[in-house]
């Protein structure tokens, strides 16, 4: 009877998620040669090739895909078993989190630091990038996203309701007047954020099921949300930004919400993680902390149309 090594199964699960031997070695804190030798030893024991290797990339064979799926299931079962035995014990382990730069800097990073202070045996690696990342097939445990969800392999939990609203400085409105309906935006200088490779000059109004898009124009645009917000505060034009971003400025009176009677589609903040039967307790605890923390840090501060119906808090993201 062939001896089964649980360590080898879990080892292969880590390698299968990596894009290269170098990445796998970095994940495990060992050398590339050590990973390569162990992988070859497992393949010799099983009598099959699990991966094709190049200097830059690892690709699973069909046998490797089956072995990786099995290793993921075993890892989940072991995690569930350990969590069930230590339900009230200290949280331990690493969590890799991805978020976009703006939301990450403003809210996710401070909340992650709070969480690690409360749970010192948890290590959180937070990576920020300009664009959202589909974490399926990566080594990230949690992805923080704003707006539409697109991958059915992931489970989404809503962290906080959010909408994009139109704002201007009091000085700009004094000089140029306040638009009363979306079509009047054509008469205003609209500062545009270029992001997500979409048609960024379209500002969307209405409900989730009944949207209207208005094409805006202006003489200022940037790919940095902080830059366009600063321009808006300084009176150069109007912006459409998420409530999590502009809420403090609205409270302070630096910005004023306009078109308050016109609803906008939801752009809720979600945590995304792999759709598995069991989520490790350290991950679910972090997600709970982000939910509580965002509610504490982001206030509606009198914003209208924030009570429109939202999707269920736990859902599968549509393809």
Confidence check: pLDDT of 301 > 50: no
Q: Among 30-34, 158-162, 304-308, where is mean pLDDT lowest? A: 304-308
- At 122 the three-state DSSP class reads strand
Which pLDDT score is estimated for 199? 65
CA 68/CA 310 separation, integer angstroms = 36
| Of 174 and 136, the one with more pLDDT | 174
Dump pLDDT digits (tens) for 249-288: 999 999 999 999 999 988 899 998 876 656 788 888 999 9
Portion of the chain with pLDDT greater than 90, in percent:
38
Nearest CA-CA partner of 167 in 258, 242, 260: 258
For 164, counting Cβ atoms within 10 Å of its Cβ (0-12 exposed, 13-18 middle, 19+ buried), the class is buried
Planar angle of CA 43, 46, 48, nearest 5 degrees: 60
- At 208 the three-state DSSP class reads coil
Taking a C-beta distance cutoff of 8 angstroms, is the pair 158, 313 a contact?
yes
**C-alpha separations of 96 from 51, 93, 152, 245, 283 in Å:** 25, 10, 20, 24, 9
CA dihedral 130, 163, 150, 210 (to 10 degrees): -140
- Write down the pTM of the prediction: 0.68
Dump pLDDT digits (tens) for 180-230: 999 999 999 999 998 766 667 889 998 877 888 999 999 999 988 899 999
Q: Which helix (H) or strand (E) holds 245?
A: helix 243-252
Confidence check: pLDDT of 81 > 70: no
Which pLDDT score is estimated for 104? 93
For 129, counting Cβ atoms within 10 Å of its Cβ (0-12 exposed, 13-18 middle, 19+ buried), the class is exposed
């Amino acid at each position: 009877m062939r001896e089964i090594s649980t360590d080898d199964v879990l080892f292969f699960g880590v390698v299968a998620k990596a894009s290269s031997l170098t990445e796998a070695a970095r994940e495990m804190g060992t050398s590339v040669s050590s990973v390569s030798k162990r992988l070859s030893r497992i393949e010799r024991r099983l009598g099959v090739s699990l991966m094709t290797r190049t200097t830059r990339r690892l690709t699973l064979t069909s046998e490797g895909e089956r072995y990786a799926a099995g290793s993921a299931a075993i890892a989940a079962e072991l995690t569930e078993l350990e969590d069930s035995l230590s339900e009230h014990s200290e949280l331990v382990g690493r969590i890799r989190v991805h978020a976009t730069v703006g939301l990450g800097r403003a809210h996710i990073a401070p909340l992650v630091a709070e969480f690690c202070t409360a749970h010192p045996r948890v290590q959180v690696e937070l990576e920020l990038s300009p664009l959202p990342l589909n974490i399926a097939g990566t080594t990230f445990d949690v992805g923080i996203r704003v707006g539409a969800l697109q991958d059915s392999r992931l489970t989404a939990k809503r962290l906080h309701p959010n909408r994009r609203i139109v704002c201007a400085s009091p000085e700009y409105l004094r000089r140029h007047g306040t638009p009363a309906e979306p079509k009047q935006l054509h008469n205003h200088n609209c500062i545009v954020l270029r992001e997500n490779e979409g048609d960024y000059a379209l500002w969307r109004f209405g409900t989730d099921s009944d949207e209207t898009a208005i094409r805006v124009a202006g003489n200022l645009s940037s790919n940095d949300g902080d830059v366009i917000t600063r321009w808006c505060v300084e009176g150069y034009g109007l912006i459409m930004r998420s409530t999590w971003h502009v809420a403090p400025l609205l409270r302070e009176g630096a910005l004023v919400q306009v078109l308050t009677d016109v609803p906008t589609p939801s752009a809720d903040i979600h945590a995304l993680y792999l759709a598995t039967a069991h989520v490790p307790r350290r991950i679910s605890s972090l997600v709970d902390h982000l939910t509580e923390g965002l509610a504490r840090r982001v206030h509606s501060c009198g914003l209208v149309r924030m009570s429109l119906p939202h999707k269920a808090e736990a859902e599968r993201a549509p393809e």
